[in-house]
Amino acid sequence: MAAISFGSILLLLLSLSLAQLLRWNPMWFGRSAGELPSSSEFFVFHEHDTLDDALFQHVGQLGDEFDAYRNHCLRVLSFAVHHLGGLRNVTNRQVNLMALALAYHDIALWTDGKLDYLDPSAALLLRDLRKNDKSGSVQDLQDADFVTLREIVLQHHKLTTWTPPEGSQADELLVNAVRKGDWADATIGMIRFGLPAAYLEKAYTELPEGGFHRILARMGGRLSPDSITERLAVLNIFKL
């Protein structure tokens, strides 16, 4: 009798958990999350010149996974702008900085073949900026912008709020907006810092996932097929 009672309790808890998950993120179950009001707060970028210009420098390395990565970057950019209050509350300069950083935030998975990819991704961003600066294609970037770009890449897997160290010139608002946006997209809304489920559904409808999460899940075996130790290097990208 006790065993049946215990099993019934477990079944009830499981049912309640699934019901809460369905309520929290219905699109996981193929259900619509409802309509959003027409508002600049829920804007979805379908393209962005700064992001695309940066990404096309590495189209060869991204190969047939280019579109999946680009859509991920555009969804995160959209969510980041939402966290800053929507299009009416951000400047073109802020959006451009976030877009540029996002083009590189995971890029070393492809360009360097690194599971511990934050530092090499940030390094490639700065190398490309120096190269483009010599060609005259980088304009109006200040010292503080370079610091912000680097921190956006390095901190985008931090779960809790990032606070800049004393003396840092990094824009804390931009770093944390991208951080929240990336967690929302990487977890398909399980961790989303208040983003409405309907907004995620809108973003995934307009910018198809394209197998991006499956690509990430397979990176360990693809980049380090014979080394468990090397696969565990991916844990270095996560920060509390």
Do 21 and 51 belong together in one domain? no
Which spans in 42-116 are helix H? 49-55, 59-62, 66-83, 92-104, 108-111
Structure tokens at 112: 């360097």
pTM score, whole prediction: 0.89
Q: Indicate whether 219 and 199 sit together in one domain.
A: yes
* Same domain for 228 and 190: yes
Q: What is the pLDDT along the chain (240 residues), one digit of tens a residue?
A: 444 565 566 565 665 565 666 666 777 766 776 777 676 789 999 999 999 999 999 999 999 999 999 999 999 999 999 999 999 999 999 999 999 999 999 999 999 999 999 999 999 999 999 887 654 445 678 999 999 999 999 999 999 999 999 989 999 999 999 999 999 999 999 999 999 999 999 999 999 999 999 999 999 888 887 777 777 778 888 888
Same domain, 98 and 5: no
* 93, 10: one domain: no
How confident is the model at residue 136, as a pLDDT?
45
Report how many domains make up the chain.
2
Separation CA 184–CA 197 (nearest Å): 10
Question: Which range marks the domain in which residue 104 is found?
Answer: 39-237
